[in-house]
Structure 1
């Protein structure tokens, strides 16, 4: 309930039949004007709803047009039976007025109709975002965003986490994505950086004796946009726990995400405990470390069957197969379209066989199969009559990814993905190190501050490429919501891990001085993660583009069309921060 003032005593969305006969004042935007021969009808909209207003004196409307703001007073009247609108909450009543005042004029020509703004070119929508946000659907996304963030904050408080804000002006990190740099006025030639994440600060909080930290954290990365990634900035539910294991983090994430998704969606949500899938298994079975578990198709390893084959495209390659149930009856055009898709993602073709009723094969690959291969393929793939087996062959690096893309595309084209549910999983056991393809040097796979499984012993006695990390992602419907890790809090283990990746102890001191110093003063074991808030809201609102759930997003080219950012600055501003443009 709002507080009454000179502009309104009630909102546009709260009047009902019990208010009939009352004198009220409302304020809002004029959504519609309809002339019914001497009687004018206005639809007045505010954040809370839409109200029909009846005007008998058209002189009152001479300065009024769509999307101007007005205040008016009048009597609440029951609508005639034939004009009742059950689609809106106030649809049984209307306000009859003889007193309307324009509060904010509006141009006669709008860049687009508010009610259909989502059909407008995105560049125009973002330039006039203040109009676009009046569209009830767009407006509702931002309202839901607010409700979800409030729920997350309350849930974290309820679970004993302490909200702490970490700095926005920080230092450039030598790891990760590109930084946004800010030149210093007081320190010539030096730069601040906007934080890519509060990673180091939250680890320092654990060393400082805070047991459970969280914040709805803004993060800044100079990355290109994608449908599920906003350029420039994003928000995450950042949390960290002292004296915690991987399973402790999972328990918190499961409770928070399950309850959030249950509250804000009517879809089925996978119940805790969420599936734990090792990285190697995920890459083999799904061709990605972001598997959509609503897709029933599974990739099968069959490289060993074709090591000495006469079929050159398969010989000594990584070969994977995908069994597609009941697909043999698809048209030639359908198979042709799948082949065109395969070519578009860099494959040289897409082999397949159809499984006949007698479990023999029909298809171009069949003639290259040896005695016993057909039975083996049927056994490994669980194939039945009427199924199709697809084959993907390429290098060890490329074959899994290509197979993953074929798996997804086939499922989409055959409508196999169950869109009625949210399916969550943890991807675990990421490799700690990998070899750089260009230099052949050992490098960190992801977060260099993750604890290696097996601790110092594994670093000393294992091939670095075999060392796994206590590192994990949480994935929902094929979208990565978060990465996280048990942190490496032991200075000796840290020195050895960085040594394997080519860093000396001096490098460690210079580039990561804060953690290097802090971990020599009694650091607790600690772990955490940071689910992406924007992505969660995108999934819950069923939007395909993340910009639909951000109040003032940049466009895909990292421009703010509303304010004109990035913009030029004056020579004086550049001089003050010791910058000269080349």
Structure 2
């Protein structure tokens, strides 16, 4: 490299370059004035180099008055540092640049946030001045990692024969489980485009078009509330689809792609198991982990003990079983060794989560003790010991009630106890497949049958299952990949039969006319021959979030929105001029 502005990058200087003349350009990261010498840490995209300026040099006055984050050009000689001054924390720590000439290329005003530290700043400040926030080395590296991960994923897919194809951004509305972002049409008054929640129909149409393996790094747009692992507005996914495949064949493609990605980019000290991802049926996941997104690093498991208490004299248990509810227990080693205040705090926490209380028993001095023991017969206590073991110090927490409520509450308790009883988090990426999702669910408000996951999935058993089984008993060829409690990927074997599709939508309350209105292109394409097909879509941000060890997805997005769905940097959303309202055939809401 031999540019007007630089002959080397700041992060490239090494001891083997001793004596070379060098041009560097970058931002003033830090300044230290030691009286006789001025030290400047000069930073560019690639790293930091220490520059030393002698007061006799004409560069001294120039750099002395330049503020932090000013962009400067320096020219000088690379010299070795004294042995006791070597900085082993940075790659350029053996050398420094003895500056001979300097020029300020751009002065920086007073900074609203510090770039040269990990000091915490309000999110509003960070997002309003995101261009400064992105200069901070840690966040800067997250975006670099994201780029490298995407490049690696693209290479992995291409090496397996997948063809990268871009699908439309402006399209029609589609029920993908969230609200669409809509765009008014100038040419067709009163009509709207929609930004795609996912390229679902297009990738299925590609399979109908004769393409065998498709993928893209796809932008998706959903008007939904944000969470720590979900960005409002837009996100990216590795969208893929394959023709003539079964569920197992999709697994055989996606599993090594994710495993190898995590092996390549895992932080130091993190482990990626080599064994196949375990398969956990959806219902089993809810029963044993209280969630369809289990963190398998957590060893605590939930057990159903309804049968054990069929003859119980304990009123709440009797009432639960009479109402067709469930009784479940969480076995917690070491719980009996905790102080009484710990247990009181645990009860208070459970009530904050919506539980009526928290029943538990504790194994102390080879006997069960605790507030519930007096309600349990000797036979029931013996059965509990037989089921959960005789280990001294163990504790069992009970919850009884409707199955969904119990699963949710014990799932939260399982995670809460693991976090407060575990001294150090296991640095392992533990993956699993969640399979056999229910095709339908009952809407809690309307009691109507609705799709539970993905309306385009093939029901297990095909038309026969739709015609003969109660809707809530029908399983679908749907699957998720979960890693450390985060859903990384959803996918399915698709419904490629028009008659099965129409029947599936009819069960969910869609009239045939409505199905054709929303999915006419897909149904029409299926009339002309379409192969069985399936795929999935791992989320880019969630992959990078796990690899960068950050708890919030905004830390791996260059320009994220706030939790309130605003872009503070570009001031969006914002008003439209009156002329644009008229042009789009819209009227402001008075």
- Corresponding position of 2:438: 431
Is 1:125 aligned to residue 132 of structure 2?
Answer: no
Question: Could you tell me how far 1:255 is from its partner in structure 2?
Answer: 0.7
Count of residues paired in the alignment:
578
Q: Is the 8 A contact 2:62 2:104 kept in 1?
A: no
Q: 1:484 to 1:255 in 2, by over 3 A?
A: same
- Corresponding position of 1:363: 370
Question: Could you tell me how far 1:307 is from its partner in structure 2?
Answer: 4.5
- Corresponding position of 1:547: 554
Q: Which stretch shows the higher mean deviation, 457-466 or 408-417?
A: 408-417
Is 1:351 aligned to residue 359 of structure 2?
Answer: yes
Residue deviations 1:391-410, cap 9 Å, x none?
01221221111111111111
Residue deviations 1:322-375, cap 9 Å, x none?
1111221101111112111101110011110001332x3100111111241011
Q: Supply the RMSD in Å over aligned alpha carbons.
A: 1.4
Is 1:293 aligned to residue 296 of structure 2?
Answer: yes
- Corresponding position of 1:31: 29
Is 1:5 aligned to residue 3 of structure 2?
Answer: yes
Q: Is the 8 A contact 1:300 1:380 kept in 2?
A: no
**Matched residue of 1:503: which SS?**
coil
Residue deviations 1:268-311, cap 9 Å, x none?
22324210011111110001111111110110101233455443
**Matched residue of 1:148: which SS?**
helix
Q: 1:476 to 1:383 in 2, by over 3 A?
A: farther
Q: 1:499 to 1:288 in 2, by over 3 A?
A: same
- Corresponding position of 1:98: 100
**Matched residue of 2:138: which SS?**
helix
- Corresponding position of 2:330: 322
Residues 312-461 of structure 1 mapped to structure 2, 5 A cutoff: 312-317=315-320, 318-358=326-366, 360-415=367-422, 418-461=425-468
In 2, the alpha carbon distance for the partners of 1:479 and 1:503 equals 32
Question: Could you tell me how far 1:45 is from its partner in structure 2?
Answer: 0.6
- Corresponding position of 1:253: 254
- Corresponding position of 1:282: 285
**Matched residue of 1:200: which SS?**
helix
Q: Is the 8 A contact 2:272 2:430 kept in 1?
A: yes
In 1, the alpha carbon distance for the partners of 2:18 and 2:400 equals 73
- Corresponding position of 1:85: 87
Q: 1:25 to 1:416 in 2, by over 3 A?
A: closer
In 1, the alpha carbon distance for the partners of 2:18 and 2:446 equals 79
Q: 1:155 to 1:36 in 2, by over 3 A?
A: same
Q: Structure 1: any 5+ residue segments left out of the alignment?
A: none
- Corresponding position of 2:323: none
In 2, the alpha carbon distance for the partners of 1:128 and 1:144 equals 21
Q: Structure 2: any 5+ residue segments left out of the alignment?
A: 321-325
In 1, the alpha carbon distance for the partners of 2:509 and 2:312 equals 41
Q: Is the 8 A contact 1:323 1:382 kept in 2?
A: no
Is 1:239 aligned to residue 247 of structure 2?
Answer: no
Moved over 4 A (4+): none
Is 1:497 aligned to residue 525 of structure 2?
Answer: no
> Equivalent of 1:471, from 450, 465, 478?
478
In 1, the alpha carbon distance for the partners of 2:180 and 2:262 equals 32
Question: Could you tell me how far 1:175 is from its partner in structure 2?
Answer: 4.3
Q: Is the 8 A contact 2:335 2:395 kept in 1?
A: yes
Q: Is the 8 A contact 1:126 1:553 kept in 2?
A: yes
- Corresponding position of 1:61: 63
Q: Is the 8 A contact 2:113 2:121 kept in 1?
A: yes
Q: Is the 8 A contact 1:495 1:505 kept in 2?
A: yes
In 1, the alpha carbon distance for the partners of 2:202 and 2:275 equals 30
Residue deviations 1:241-281, cap 9 Å, x none?
00011001111111100000011114222324210011111
In 1, the alpha carbon distance for the partners of 2:399 and 2:304 equals 10
In 2, the alpha carbon distance for the partners of 1:142 and 1:323 equals 41
In 2, the alpha carbon distance for the partners of 1:89 and 1:377 equals 59
Q: Is the 8 A contact 1:559 1:566 kept in 2?
A: yes
Question: Could you tell me how far 1:49 is from its partner in structure 2?
Answer: 1.2
Q: 1:201 to 1:416 in 2, by over 3 A?
A: farther
- Corresponding position of 1:201: 202
Q: Is the 8 A contact 1:295 1:418 kept in 2?
A: no
Q: Which stretch shows the higher mean deviation, 75-84 or 17-26?
A: 75-84
Q: TM-score, normalised by structure 1?
A: 0.97
Question: Could you tell me how far 1:464 is from its partner in structure 2?
Answer: 1.6
- Corresponding position of 1:268: 271
Residue deviations 1:492-526, cap 9 Å, x none?
21122112222222221112111111111101000
- Corresponding position of 1:166: 167
In 2, the alpha carbon distance for the partners of 1:417 and 1:506 equals 57
Q: 1:438 to 1:42 in 2, by over 3 A?
A: closer
Residue deviations 1:510-561, cap 9 Å, x none?
1211111111110100000001110000001110111001111111111111
**Matched residue of 1:38: which SS?**
coil
Question: Could you tell me how far 1:132 is from its partner in structure 2?
Answer: 0.9
Q: Is the 8 A contact 2:215 2:240 kept in 1?
A: yes
> Equivalent of 1:49, from 47, 50, 55?
47
Question: Could you tell me how far 1:418 is from its partner in structure 2?
Answer: 4.7
Residue deviations 1:436-489, cap 9 Å, x none?
233332221111111011111111111221111001111001110111100000
In 2, the alpha carbon distance for the partners of 1:384 and 1:430 equals 36
> Equivalent of 2:569, from 546, 549, 562?
562
Q: Is the 8 A contact 1:284 1:400 kept in 2?
A: yes
Question: Could you tell me how far 1:39 is from its partner in structure 2?
Answer: 1.6
Q: Is the 8 A contact 2:250 2:535 kept in 1?
A: yes
Question: Could you tell me how far 1:218 is from its partner in structure 2?
Answer: 0.5
